[in-house]
Amino acid sequence: MEPSELKRSKDSPNLDESTRRSSFPDEVLERVLSLLKSHRDRSSVSLVCKDWYNAERWSRTHVFIGNCYSVSPEIVARRFPKIRSVTLKGKPRFSDFNLVPENWGADIHAWLVVFAAKYPFLEELRLKRMAISDESLEFLAVSFPNFKALSLLSCDGFSTNGLAAIATHCKNLTELDIQENGIDDKGGSWLSCFPESFTSLEVLNFANLSSDINFDALERLVGRCKSMRVLKLNRSVSLEQLQRLLVNAPQLAELGTGSFSEELTFRQCVELESALSNCKNMYTLSGLWDAKGIYLPALYPVCTHLTFLNLSYAALRSDELAKLLAHCPRLKRLWVLDTVEDKGLEAVGMNCPLLEELRVFPADLFDEEIIHGVTEAGFVAVSFGCPRLHYVLYFCCQMTNAAVATIVQNCPDFTHFRLCIMNPGQPDHITNEPMDEAFGAVVKTCTKLQRLSVSGRLTDLTFEYIGRYAKNLETLSVAFAGSSDWGMQCVMGGCSKLRKLEIRDCPFGNAALLSGLEKYESMRSLWMSACNVTMNGCRLLAREMPRLNVEVMKEDGSDDSQADKVYVYRSIAGPRRDAPPSVLTL
Amino acid sequence: MEGSVGYDNDLNLRATELRLGLPGTEPVSIVRSNKRSLQQVADDDCGVNGCRSDDQNETAPPPPKAQIVGWPPIRSYRKNNIQTKKNESEGGGIYVKVSMDGAPYLRKIDLKIYSGYPELLQAIENMFKFTIGEYSEREGYKGSDYAPTYEDKDGDWMLVGDVPWEMFITSCKRLRIMKGSEARGLGCGV
C-alpha cells in the first residue's frame, strides 16, 4: 500500500481530532505499517507526523544502518524497541583494497552489548566490512536464544573458533553465510560443532574457508537439514563428495561446488550428472574452483534452469565457456574471469538473451609478459545480444569512446555501470583521446543510472557531463582522473541524489572539497585519498559543518599539511571515540 | 662547425642509445594524472628493504603494471584465490626465488613439493646451512638471528607462517631470509 494513499484518508478536511483517532486507531496503523518492508518507505512514513513516526518505530522489525558511525547503538535501541534483524555496514569501501589502516574501527562489540540488553530476541545480524572478534561471536552465540541468521561479508578479526561457538550454541540457526572475509582459518573442526539434533539450517556458505572439514559431519548435517536451500562448499570438498551430498539434498536452490578438478572415473561422472539432474529447483551455481573443461558437461542438466552462474573462480577458456553457455538460455546473471576473452563474451551475447548482469574479473594481475583478458570488443558483443543488461562490472585492458557509445545505445537501461580500464589514466586506444565522451554517452543515455565507476584518462569534461546528466546517480567512484577542482565541483553541484562519493589519486583540492559543504549532510559519506586536500581545508570543513565527522588518516613520512586520506560522513552520534592514533578526528 | 648531431644521421645513434627498454621497443610514456601517486609508488618500492632497483626513481617511467596500492580494485580475498591455468601448464610447480641476507647468490625452490611450513623451513635451513628459530604467533621466530619472510601478491613483506599454507603458496612471490636487527624487529607483535 502506498503511504500516500494512507495520507489522503487521514487528511480529509471534515474530520476533527477525535473522530480521526477513533476511526484509525494506532493498532491498525501499526498493523498496516508492519507490511512495509523497504526502509526508504519507512523513513518517508516516519516523517509524515508524530503519530506516524511512533507507529512506524513500534512496528519496525528490521533496521539497516549503512554507516555504523552515523548513529550509536543506544540511539537505535531508543527509537526502535522491537528490532529482530539488523544490517550494519562499517569501513569505507576502499578498505577492501587495503587503503584503510589496520585497527581503523567498526568493531561490532559495543553494538552487541546494547543489543543483548535491548533486543534479547534478536534473530538476524548481517555485517559488511565490520571488525568482529571470536569473543564477540561467542558473546553473540550465547546472548540471543532465538538467533537465526548470521551473515558476514568482507569482515575481519575472527577465526574459525568463533564459528565453532555459533555452531555449538545457536540452536535455532537457519543461516550461516561467511563470504570473502579476512578469516583466520584454524581448521575445519568448527563444522563438527553442530549438534546431531540440529536440523534447522537452510543456508550454509563456507566457501571462504580453505581448511578441510570433516566430510562425514557435513554429510550428516546436510542429510538431516531437510529445509536446506543454499549450500556453498569450500575448495576442500571433492567432486565425489559433492555427488554424495547432492543425492541427499536435491531440493537445493543454490549450490556452490567445491573443487571441480579431480580425476573422475566414467561411472563417477555419470553419478554426478545424475545427482545434478535431480536438482530441479537449482537456479544458482557457483564455486567450480579450478574447473576442468571436461567435467563441465555434468552441469548441463542444471544449466537449463540456471539464472545465476558464478564462474569467477574458474579460469575457463573461451571455447569452454561457449559450450557451457549453449545450455544456459535463462541466465540473468553471469560472473566470469577474463580468461574467457572477447570470444567467450561473444558466446554470452549469442546464448543469453535474458542477461541482466555481467561481471568480468581479471585473472592474472601480475604477469607482465602475457597480455590477455578482454577488450572493448567483448563488451560490445554482449551489448548486441543482451538488451536487458543493466548491471556491469568490467575489468579490461583497453577501451574506446566509440565502443561505449554503441554499448549504451544497445543497452540504455543501465543502473550500475562500473568500468575499470586497468592501466590508470589510459586513453582511448584507437584515437588516443581521453575517455570523456564514453562516460558522457553513459550518463546522457542511461537516465536510470544509480552507480558509476569511471576509469581511463579523464578530464574535467567527464565530470561536467556527470553533473549535468546523471540526475539519479547515488554512488560514484573515481580514480586517477580529472584535471582540476572544477571537475569535482560539477559533481557536487549537479548530482542531487548523490549519497556515496569515493575518490583516489585525483587533482581535487580544498576548493573542490568545500564546494560540497551544503551537500555532505545529505550524503552517507565522502572518501578522498591521494588528492590535493590539505589539513587546513579539512579543519575548515569540520568547523563549518559540526554535524559531519571529518576524519583524516595520515601516512608515514608525508607532509604535515597534506591530508592524505579523508573520510567525511554525517552522524548524529558525534565524533567517534574508538579511532586509532593514525586517524585524526577534526 | 658542424651542428649538433641528430638521431637520423649515418651514425644511427638511436640504435646504440643506452636505455631501459628491451631492444626494439620505444620508451613507454605512462599517463598519470597525478604526480603524487607516481611518487608514492616510488616511495613504496624504496621501503623497509631498500630500493628494489636503483633505476626506479622519478626520472625513469615505471613499468606499465607498477604495483599501486589497492589497484586494480579487487578484494584481497579474490586476488588470493584465483589460480590461473598458467600454473597448471607449467607442470604445476610454483617456483620462487629465495635470498638470504649475506649470501652471494640466490636459490630457487618449488613450493608445491612441500606439504607445509615445517618441511619448507627445514629445506631452507638445509639449503643455506643455518637454523631458523621456533615459530609462535605472538612473537614470530625466536631463538635465532634469522627470520624467514616473503613478498606477497600485494607487494607487502610478510613473516612466513602467519597465513594458512594453501594461501601462502598461492600468494608468495619470493622468499627472503632476513638477518640481524631487521629480523628481530619483524618478530615483535607486528
Q: What is the pLDDT of residues A27-77, one digit of tens each?
A: 888 888 888 888 888 989 889 988 889 888 988 999 999 999 999 999 999
Decide: A191 and A214 in contact? Cβ < 8 Å.
Answer: yes
Q: CA nearest B67 in A: which residue?
A: A366
Q: Region A459-477: what's the mean pLDDT? A: 98
CA distance A481 to chain B (A): 6
Does the pLDDT of residue A254 top 90, yes or no? yes
Q: Region B89-93: what's the mean pLDDT? A: 54
Chain B residues with CB under 8 Å of A235 CB are 166
Chain A residues with CB under 8 Å of B65 CB are 365-366, 368, 423
Chain A residues with CB under 8 Å of B71 CB are 97, 424, 479
Considering only CA atoms, which of A265, A269, A273, A286 is closest in space to residue A246? A273
Q: Could you give the percent of chain A with pLDDT greater than 70? A: 95
| Substitution target from B37, B40, B80, B89 for chain A, most A beta carbons within 10 A | B37
Give the pLDDT confidence of A3-36 residue by residue, as tens digits: 544 444 445 455 455 445 545 777 888 888 888 8
Q: Is A263 on the interface with B (CB under 8 A)?
A: no
Q: Region B163-171: what's the mean pLDDT? A: 86
Q: Is residue B110 part of a domain?
A: yes
Residue from the list A94, A208, A368 with its beta carbon closest to the beta carbon of B63: A368
Cell of A18: 477525535
The strand ranges marked E within A245-337 are 254-256, 284-286, 308-310, 333-337
CB contact set of A244 (below 8 Å; sequence gap of 6+): A219
Instruction: Give residue B92's pLDDT.
Output: 58
Does the pLDDT of residue B65 top 70, yes or no? no
CB contact under 8 A, A337 and B82: yes
Q: Region A407-425: what's the mean pLDDT? A: 97
CA A67 to chain centre: 14
CATH number at residue B171: 3.10.20.90
What is the pLDDT of chain A when averaged over all its residues?
92
Fold topology of A27-59: Monooxygenase (1.20.1280)
Beta partners for residue A501, in sequence order: A476, A526
Decide: A29 and A52 in contact? Cβ < 8 Å.
Answer: yes
CB contact under 8 A, B86 and A367: yes
Does the pLDDT of residue B129 top 60, yes or no? yes
Cell of A568: 567525511
Residue from the list B36, B75, B167 with its beta carbon closest to the beta carbon of A210: B167
The strand ranges marked E within A414-573 are 416-421, 451-453, 475-479, 500-504, 525-529, 548-553, 565-570
Q: Is A465 on the interface with B (CB under 8 A)?
A: no
The strand ranges marked E within A353-507 are 357-361, 391-396, 416-421, 451-453, 475-479, 500-504
CA distance A486 to chain B (A): 15
Q: Is B71 on the interface with A (CB under 8 A)?
A: yes
For cell 574508538, what's the residue?
Answer: A578
Instruction: Give residue A6's pLDDT.
Output: 46
Does the pLDDT of residue A533 top 90, yes or no? yes
| Alpha carbon distance A7, A524 (integer Å) | 28
Q: Is the peptide bond before B72 cis (omega within 30 degrees of 0)?
A: yes
Q: Exposed/middle/buried for A334, CB within 10 Å: 0-12, 13-18, 19+?
A: buried
Q: Region A328-348: what's the mean pLDDT? A: 96
Q: Is B105 on the interface with A (CB under 8 A)?
A: no
> pTM score > 0.90 for this model?
no
- For β-strands A565-570 and B95-100, DSSP reports them as unpaired
Residue from the list A363, A426, A477 with its beta carbon closest to the beta carbon of B31: A426
CA dihedral B58, B62, B66, B68 (to 10 degrees): 20
Instruction: Give residue B105's pLDDT.
Output: 81
Residue from the list B63, B77, B153 with its beta carbon closest to the beta carbon of A180: B77
Q: Is B81 on the interface with A (CB under 8 A)?
A: yes
Give the pLDDT confidence of A275-296 residue by residue, as tens digits: 999 999 999 999 998 887 888 8
Touching B: A residues 173-192, CB under 8 Å: 180-182, 185
Amino acid sitting at position A533: V
Q: Is B56 on the interface with A (CB under 8 A)?
A: no
Specify the number of domains making up chain B: 1
Give the pLDDT confidence of A360-405 residue by residue, as tens digits: 999 876 655 556 799 999 999 999 999 999 999 999 999 999 999 9
Widest CA span of chain A, in angstroms?
81
For A227, what's the count of Cα atoms within 13 Å in the CB-facing half-sphere? Answer: 10
H or E stretch including B98?
Answer: strand B95-100
CB contact under 8 A, B33 and A458: yes
Does the pLDDT of residue B24 top 70, yes or no? no
CB contact under 8 A, B34 and A506: yes
| Alpha carbon distance A561, A564 (integer Å) | 9
Range of the domain at B156: 95-183
| Alpha carbon distance A460, A16 (integer Å) | 57
Q: Is residue B26 part of a domain?
A: no
Q: Is B72 on the interface with A (CB under 8 A)?
A: yes
pLDDT band at B91 (very low <50, low <70, confident <90, very high): low
Count the residues in chain A: 586
Q: Is A504 on the interface with B (CB under 8 A)?
A: yes
Q: Is B42 on the interface with A (CB under 8 A)?
A: no
In sequence order, which ranges of A170-317 are alpha helices (DSSP H)?
Answer: 215-224, 239-247, 266-277, 300-303
Q: Is B48 on the interface with A (CB under 8 A)?
A: no
CB contact under 8 A, A96 and B76: yes
Cell of A148: 537465526
A62: helix, strand or coil? strand
Does the pLDDT of residue A315 top 50, yes or no? yes
Residue from the list B76, B166, B173 with its beta carbon closest to the beta carbon of A210: B166
From residue B84, how far is each of A3, A317, A465, B6, B14 by CA, in Å? 52, 11, 39, 48, 39
